[in-house]
């Protein structure tokens, strides 16, 4: 999960740009990385913005079928 979020940040270019794409502050993105805790309500937005799969971002709620 943490690796997938790091990948989303890299695809976006920075935590600031990812935050802008999904409507949160860069500090919040960095907090998610630090705590390894991505809230479920942002998974689809991150997937749309970066192409990083929801299955990788939150496999606990979006398992691969």
Q: Model confidence over 3-54: pLDDT tens digits?
A: 999 999 999 999 999 999 999 999 999 999 999 999 999 999 999 999 999 9
Report d(CA 38, CA 47) in Å as an integer: 12
Whole-model pTM?
A: 0.91
Q: What is the fold of 2-56?
A: 434 Repressor (Amino-terminal Domain) (1.10.260)
Task: Give residues with Cβ within 8 angstroms of 15, minimum separation 6.
Answer: 9, 26, 29, 30, 33
Is 58's pLDDT higher than 90?
yes
């Amino acid at each position: 999960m943490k690796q997938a979020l790091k990948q989303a940040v890299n695809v976006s270019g920075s935590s600031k740009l990812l935050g802008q794409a999904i409507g949160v502050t860069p500090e919040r993105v960095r907090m998610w990385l630090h705590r390894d805790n991505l809230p479920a309500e942002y998974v689809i937005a991150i997937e749309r913005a970066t192409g990083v799969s929801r299955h990788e971002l939150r496999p606990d709620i979006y398992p691969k079928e």
